Structure 1
Amino acid sequence: MNIAVLSGKGGTGKTTVSTNLSLALKGNYIDCDVEEPNGFLFLKPNINEVQKVLVDCPDIDEDKCMSCGDCVNICQFNALAKVKDNIILFEKLCHSCGACKIACDYEALNYKKREIGAIEKGQSKEINCMRGLLNVGEPTAVPIIKTLLNNLPKGLNIVDCPPGTSCNVVNSLRYADSAILVTEPTEFGLHDLKMAIGVVRMFNIPFGIVINKDNNRDNRIRKYCKEENIKIIGAIPYSKDIARIYSNGENIYYNLEQKHIFDKLAEEVKRMIVWS
């Protein structure tokens, strides 16, 4: 069972919910926010395995290449360019689709492997932890997300998705059985929540809402969810004490005064799983 935790924008508390919910449910923590994977800062796992993520990249045989430009014309990602009598490769723009090799009549194109990041696995007390790491300067995170999610451990997995509604999020949701959308009671929070709901509904995934920095009033998020008949499954209070806990890199779930927040959320998630 894979539960995706996502938000329409960054900074809403998605990783706070993911890490503490993993502890409450004793589920595996999977960090798919490969450009900023900060869940390990809180869970502090002992990393015992590192796997390189490699992608295919064109390798031009200059002795065979006739500089005809057919590979350039077929490339939809502008990874190849013809400059005078030379074919220039921009390897970071390549999506490894294979079209250039098919188009080459002179068999001048083959593929080599190129490292773009890594998968790290470890153990934090009673839960397994995995995360993807995209190398600095790499523009495409999807291959790392796919590699990470194709090797999930058995059992319950809490998948900390990238922020926003980009292709990174879409690829993370392909593996989800249900979803938790984290938001905050601001106009920006509501705007981006609506976009996230649209993506989740596109996949027909059951979902619930968690409000972070909740003021316990009839705010714009609560009004919207009531109008749209969307279930709010949890709320994290607007609290200086809670802010102090996670600012120190600590887990809210281990604080005896705040532990009940995620125990209650865990029970709601169990009901959502049954419904799913």
Structure 2
Amino acid sequence: MKIAIASGKGGTGKTTVAVNLALALGEVQLFDCDVEEPNCNLFLGFELEPVEKVFCLVPEINPDKCTLCKNCSNFCKYNALAALPKKILSFPSLCHGCGGCSLVCPAGAIEENPEPIGIIEKTSSESPFIFFCGTLNIGKAMATPVIRSLQNHIDESRPAIIDSPPGIACPVLAVMESADYCVLVTESTPFGFHGFCLALEAARALKIPMGVVLNREGLGDSRVEDFCRAEGIPVLLRIPNDRTIARLYSEGIPFVREMPEWKKRFENMFLTIKELAFKNMGV
């Protein structure tokens, strides 16, 4: 079972929930798919080893073969190719590496060259904890191919906890659409509620069962809980606005390691998620 930990905005505690849940369960996999700014390992401190480099196939146009038919630029929905009267311009930073331009070129004037955009790393083979991390290269814009490559390493035989990027853009949807259950982490503030509603809309559009973790409970008001009650959305866990939890976070320490009572709470949350996910599957 794959559980995506998501949020409509950054800073709600998404990574905190993903890391503490994975540590509480132990026999799971943890994937840091926030490839633009992966930070799970700040709390774990593992020595990581490279697994693979991720490439994006970028088109290069041979001007001697190009007939200026404009098929390639008309096909590209991301404006990575632009047709001028005497040449085709290529913008590699906009290319999504789909390969469609080379398929529609009747003259065979397009060659796709691999360009490195990121790297996948994991814990060493000696480590009992399975953790994978993807990192997008500095200056690159295409996070989704790195996330796709990272997801290829998920072992379907055991549960996977996936720390999603924040927001609701393409990288988030790439994580959500492959998940069996989505945990939306939020806080009950006006900004937090707005981000939660955006993430909720995305999960509903993808028809993924979801529940809520209310972080920093006691900060703000009851708008999130009132909304969830009215919509029939389960609140899976409440994490209080607690000074000890905040201090441990600031020191890079997962609070399940110092507050053992939380291990059972995260375990119970996982059991609830399994029940809800299997119910949705009709099992």
SS where residue 17 of structure 2 aligns?
Answer: helix
Q: Which residue of 2 aligns with 1:146?
A: 148
CA contact (8 A) 1:35 1:141 kept: yes
Aligned AA (1:238): N
Q: Secondary structure at the match of 1:171?
A: helix
SS in 1 for 2:214: strand
| Structure 2 Cα separation of the partners of residues 70 and 228 of structure 1 | 48
Tell me whether 1:19 sits opposite 2:47 in the alignment: no
Give the drift of 1:212: 0.9
Q: 1:272, CA displacement in angstroms?
A: 2.0
The normalised TM-score by structure 2 is: 0.89
What letter matches 1:267 in structure 2? N
**What SS does structure 1 have at the residue aligned with 2:98?**
coil
What's the offset of the Cα at 1:125?
5.3
Q: Deviations over 1:50-72 (max 9, x none)?
A: 31001211122233234454433
Q: For 1:212-271, what per-residue CA distance to the aligned partner results, in whole angstroms no more than 9, with x for missing partners?
A: 11118972222222222221111111122211111111111111xx33234213212212
Note the C-alpha offset of 1:42.
0.6
Structure 1 position 19, deviation (Å) = 0.4
Aligned-partner SS, 1:96: coil
Partner of 2:10, secondary structure, is coil
- Cα separation, 1, equivalents of 2:110 and 2:230: 57
Amino acid at match of 2:269: E
Q: Percent identity?
A: 39
8 Å CA contact retained: 1:180, 1:210: yes
TM-score normalised by L of structure 1: 0.92
Contact 1:235 1:261 in 2 (8 A): no
In 1, Cα distance between the equivalents of 2:72 and 2:108?
11
- Check conservation: 1:55, 1:116, Cα contact below 8 A: yes
Greater CA drift, 226-235 or 36-45: 226-235
User: After the TM superposition, which residues 53-132 of structure 1 pair with which residues of structure 2 at under 5 Å, given as runs?
Assistant: 53-83=54-84, 85-123=86-124, 126-132=128-134
Q: Which ranges of structure 1 fall in alignment gaps of 5 or more residues? A: none
Name the CA distance, whole Å, in 2 between partners of 1:205 and 1:71. 35
Deviation at 1:45, TM superposition (A): 1.7
1:162 counterpart = 2:162: no
Q: Tell me: CA distance 1:82–1:175, structure 2 relative to 1, closer, same or farther (3 Å).
A: closer
1:41-60 to 2 correspondences below 5 Å: 41-60=42-61
Greater Cα shift, 102-111 or 6-15? 102-111
Q: Which residue of 1 aligns with 2:136?
A: 134
Shift of 1:16: 0.4
Shift in Å, 1:182:
0.6
1:244 is matched with which residue? 247
Give aligned pairs, total.
274
Paired with 1:71 and 1:166, the residues of 2 have a C-alpha distance of 26
In structure 2, give the amino acid aligned to 1:31. D
Q: CA RMSD in A?
A: 2.0
Instruction: Identify if the C-alpha distance between structure 1 residues 57 and 218 changes in structure 2 by more than 3 Å, giving closer, same or farther.
Output: closer
**Aligned residues of 2:248 and 2:254 also touching (Cα < 8 A):** yes
Q: Which runs of 4+ in 1 moved over 4 A?
A: none
Among 179, 192, 197, the alignment partner of 1:194 is 197
